[in-house]
Chains A and B, each alone.
Chain A
Amino acid sequence: MKLQIDEIPNLEETEIIIRCREVDDRINRIGNYIRTSYITINGKDNGESYVLYLDDIYYFEAVDNKVFAYDEHKVYEVSYKLQELADLLRKTSFIQVARTVILNINKIEKVSTLVNGRISAVLINKEKMIITRAYAHAFKQKLNG
Chain B
Amino acid sequence: MSNKKFNILKFIANYLIILISIFALITIIFAGLLEFINRSVLSGKDLLIFFIVSAVASILFSIVFKLNNISIVLQAIIIYFLLSLIVVLVGYYVLYIYDIGHNYKLFISTIIFIIVGLVFLILFLIIKLRKVNKSLNENLKNFKERDH
B and A form one assembly:
yes
Contact partner of B132 (CB less than 8 A), chosen from A33, A36, A113, A116, is: A113
Chain B 119-148 interface 0/1 with A at a Cβ cutoff of 8 Å (1 = within): 000000000010011001101101110111
Q: Quick one: given A113-B136, A114-B68, are A142 and B143 in contact (CB under 8 Å)?
A: yes
- CB atoms of B137 and A114 under 8 A apart: no
B72 contacts A by Cβ under 8 Å = yes
- Which residues on the A side are within 8 Å of B143 (C-beta)? 93, 105, 142-143, 145
For the complex, would chain B's binding face be called helix, strand, loop or mixed by DSSP majority? Answer: helix
Q: Quick one: given A32-B147, A93-B147, are A114 and B71 in contact (CB under 8 Å)?
A: yes
Cα–Cα distance between A122 and B148 once the two chains are bound (Å): 20
Contact partner of B133 (CB less than 8 A), chosen from A29, A105, A112, is: A112
- Which residues on the A side are within 8 Å of B72 (C-beta)? 113-115
Across the A-B interface, the 4 shortest Cβ-Cβ residue pairs: A143-B139, A33-B147, A115-B75, A112-B133
A114-B71, A143-B136 known, 14 other contacts, Cβ within 8 Å: A29-B146, A93-B147, A105-B140, A105-B144, A106-B147, A110-B137, A111-B137, A112-B129, A113-B133, A114-B68, A115-B72, A118-B68, A140-B139, A144-B139
Listed by A's residue number, 21 A-B pairs whose Cβ atoms lie within 8 Å are A29-B147, A32-B147, A33-B147, A36-B147, A93-B147, A106-B147, A111-B136, A111-B137, A111-B140, A112-B133, A113-B136, A114-B71, A115-B67, A115-B68, A116-B68, A118-B68, A140-B139, A143-B136, A143-B139, A143-B140, A143-B142
Which residues in B have some Cβ–Cβ distance to A below 8 Å? 65, 67-68, 70-72, 75, 129, 132-133, 136-137, 139-140, 142-144, 146-148
Which residues in A have some Cβ–Cβ distance to B below 8 Å? 29, 32-33, 36, 93, 105-106, 108, 110-116, 118-119, 140, 142-145
